[in-house]
């Protein structure tokens, strides 16, 4: 395999999670009688541009199907994040009725609905029919296609260029990163602003966030690498913000390379910090596998101990990261009988690979578990608030990443 950005042959693997099905390929009851496709799940690092990337085995249209089950509006904290972002951008960029906001991977309209409410013209791009339909019901115009350079040029030829071009947690999901970034260039109006949010590779490494690796994530980014990708497409980064979302993310602000806007000091500061922390050296990646294995082993040992002690265990959050963890650890319903989730699109289905049932949250109250394993650890505080009644009955909350913690 060659690097998705610079074409350098890849030779160094820094994480191998064996094989797994796509993490959002939830199963119906009828699917339980059929075999599942499993693909190797391996991350390599390019020693030229330092792009971390999964090995190619699947196509995007195999991962982001029409019945895609991830709906962004399920998380209240993410809705607050989106609302605050919209307010900040409207004020910061002085957006109004004469502007156009385009969001790539608009999902169920969780973000663009804030611009609709402010009467700012917007357009969503979303390839999965299930979420695009939800967005359309909110009055958001949506084009149900994958974004690409050709698509960006087509929009530009129609006079639909963005004053604000948004991509929240989509950049990592792109198999052809150069084509996608050239598409950003094509659809961005002169003087316009791009904002992208994506998990920061530095946080993945320092917090052993191996469960954020799944087939839908093709790339894992540092600011240095994104800056290189932007430059190759005729764009540049002029601001960066560090966010707490998804265990530690970056929000980068981009523009055309000939835009006169000044580069904020935070950009140079973070570029230097990444180099100082070793993200462009082989050594920082060498012990990551061992740390991931330790976290997996600790969880498996804990669950086996609970089973032997006769304790009742359940999970919360049918998240993609949880599927990575459960499949790597080989955890099945004998150790985790069910997982509750607030998303109606997932309830009544089964987790891919492990085939653990997904139930509505009220099942936890009926089951009265001794232990609840919170799989989306980045939302642990929000989830503990939603399940506040359980600790009064003696339930303990557990997270497994970056290390086993029992509350």
> What are the helix and strand counts (H, E) for the chain?
14, 17
Q: How many degrees, rounded to 5, is the angle at CA 75 between CA 65 and CA 364?
A: 95
Tokens of 72: 């962004």
Structural domain count of the chain: 2
Of 288, 199, 222, nearest to 46 by C-alpha is 222
In terms of domains, do 300 and 188 share one?
Answer: no
How far are the Cα atoms of 66, 180, 192, 387 from residue 100, in angstroms, in the given order?
A: 27, 20, 10, 40
Q: In the Cβ-directed half-sphere of 317, how many Cα atoms lie within 13 Å?
A: 27
In terms of domains, do 245 and 293 share one?
Answer: no
Predicted local distance difference test score (pLDDT) of residue 66: 46
Q: Which residue has the tokens 């985790």?
A: 336
Residue 243 falls inside a structural domain: yes
In terms of domains, do 229 and 292 share one?
Answer: no
In terms of domains, do 331 and 200 share one?
Answer: no
In terms of domains, do 306 and 224 share one?
Answer: no
Residue spans of beta strands (DSSP E) within 72-224? 101-104, 122-125, 142-143, 162-168, 188-199, 219-220
DSSP secondary structure letter of residue 309: T
Residue 340 falls inside a structural domain: yes
Predicted local distance difference test score (pLDDT) of residue 61: 52
CA distance 233 to 27: 39
Please, what's the largest Cα pairwise distance for the chain?
66
In terms of domains, do 246 and 331 share one?
Answer: no
CA distance 24 to 219: 17
Residue 27 falls inside a structural domain: no
In terms of domains, do 253 and 315 share one?
Answer: no
CA distance 217 to 332: 24
Predicted local distance difference test score (pLDDT) of residue 68: 47
In terms of domains, do 226 and 342 share one?
Answer: no
CA distance 14 to 279: 13
Residue 279 falls inside a structural domain: no
Residue 389 falls inside a structural domain: yes
Give me the CATH number covering residue 184. 3.40.50.150
Helix, strand, or coil here: 13?
A: strand
Q: pLDDT per position in the chain (407 positions), as tens?
A: 999 999 999 999 999 999 999 988 999 999 999 999 999 999 999 999 999 999 976 554 555 444 444 566 667 888 999 999 999 999 999 999 999 999 999 999 999 999 999 999 999 999 988 899 999 999 999 999 999 999 999 999 999 999 999 999 999 999 999 999 999 999 999 999 999 999 999 999 999 999 999 998 999 999 999 999 999 999 999 999 999 998 999 999 999 999 999 999 999 999 999 999 999 999 999 999 999 999 999 999 999 999 999 999 999 999 999 999 999 999 999 999 999 999 898 999 999 999 999 999 999 999 999 999 999 999 999 999 999 999 999 999 999 999 999 98
Of 124, 133, 107, 199, nearest to 165 by C-alpha is 124
Distance between first and last Cα of the chain: 43
Decide: 132 and 157 in contact? Cβ < 8 Å. Answer: no
Residue 26 falls inside a structural domain: no
In terms of domains, do 249 and 182 share one?
Answer: yes
Residue 315 falls inside a structural domain: yes
Q: Name every residue whose Cβ is closer than 8 Å to that of residue 259 and which is 6 or more positions away in sequence.
A: 190, 191, 236, 238
In terms of domains, do 166 and 234 share one?
Answer: yes
Q: Which residue has the tokens 């981009």?
A: 254
- Residues 58-80 as b/e (b if ≥16 CB within 10 A, e otherwise) read beeeebbeeebbbbbbbbeebbe
Residue spans of beta strands (DSSP E) within 273-348? 313-316, 339-340
Residue 32 falls inside a structural domain: no
Could you tell me the residue range of the domain that residue 318 belongs to?
288-406
Predicted local distance difference test score (pLDDT) of residue 24: 85
In terms of domains, do 252 and 302 share one?
Answer: no
Predicted local distance difference test score (pLDDT) of residue 345: 87
Give me the CATH number covering residue 359. 3.40.50.720
Q: Name every residue whose Cβ is closer than 8 Å to that of residue 145 and which is 6 or more positions away in sequence.
A: 125, 127, 151
In terms of domains, do 85 and 201 share one?
Answer: yes
Decide: 191 and 197 in contact? Cβ < 8 Å. Answer: no
DSSP secondary structure letter of residue 189: E
Predicted local distance difference test score (pLDDT) of residue 278: 97
């Amino acid at each position: 395999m060659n690097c998705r950005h610079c074409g350098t042959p890849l030779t160094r693997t820094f994480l191998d999670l064996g094989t797994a099905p796509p993490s959002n390929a939830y199963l119906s009851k009828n699917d339980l009688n059929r075999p599942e496709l499993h693909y190797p799940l391996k991350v390599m690092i390019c020693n030229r541009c330092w792009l971390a990337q999964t090995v190619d085995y699947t196509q995007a249209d195999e991962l982001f199907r029409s019945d895609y089950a991830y709906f962004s509006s399920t998380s209240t904290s993410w809705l607050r994040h989106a609302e605050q972002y919209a307010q900040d951008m409207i004020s910061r960029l002085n957006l109004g009725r004469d502007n156009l906001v385009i969001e790539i991977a608009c999902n169920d309209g969780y973000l663009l609905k804030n611009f609709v409410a402010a009467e700012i013209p917007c357009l969503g791009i979303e390839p999965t029919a299930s979420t695009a339909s939800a967005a359309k019901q909110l009055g958001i115009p949506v084009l149900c296609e994958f974004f690409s350079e050709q698509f960006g040029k087509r929009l530009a030829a129609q006079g639909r260029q963005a004053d604000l071009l948004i991509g929240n947690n989509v950049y990592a999901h792109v198999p052809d990163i150069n084509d996608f970034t050239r598409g950003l260039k094509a659809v961005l109006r002169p003087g316009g602003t791009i904002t992208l949010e994506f998990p920061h590779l530095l946080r993945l490494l320092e917090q052993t966030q191996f469960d954020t690796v799944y087939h839908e994530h093709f790339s894992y980014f540092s600011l240095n690498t994104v800056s290189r990708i932007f430059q190759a497409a005729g764009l540049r980064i002029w601001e960066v913000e560090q966010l707490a979302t998804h265990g530690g993310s970056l929000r980068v602000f981009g523009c055309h390379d000939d835009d006169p806007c000044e580069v904020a000091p935070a950009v140079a500061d973070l570029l230097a910090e990444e180099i100082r922390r070793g993200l462009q050296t082989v050594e920082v990646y060498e012990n990551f596998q061992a740390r991931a294995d330790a976290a997996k082993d600790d969880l498996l040992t804990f669950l086996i101990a609970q089973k032997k002690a006769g304790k009742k265990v359940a999970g919360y959050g049918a998240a993609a990261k949880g599927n990575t963890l459960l499949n790597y650890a080989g955890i099945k319903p004998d150790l985790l009988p069910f997982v509750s989730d607030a998303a109606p699109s997932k309830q009544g289905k089964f987790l891919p690979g492990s085939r653990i049932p997904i139930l509505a949250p009220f099942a936890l109250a009926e089951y009265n578990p001794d232990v609840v394993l919170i799989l989306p650890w980045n939302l642990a505080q929000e989830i503990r608030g939603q399940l506040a009644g359980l600790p009064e009955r003696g339930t303990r909350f557990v997270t497994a990443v970056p290390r086993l913690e029992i509350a």
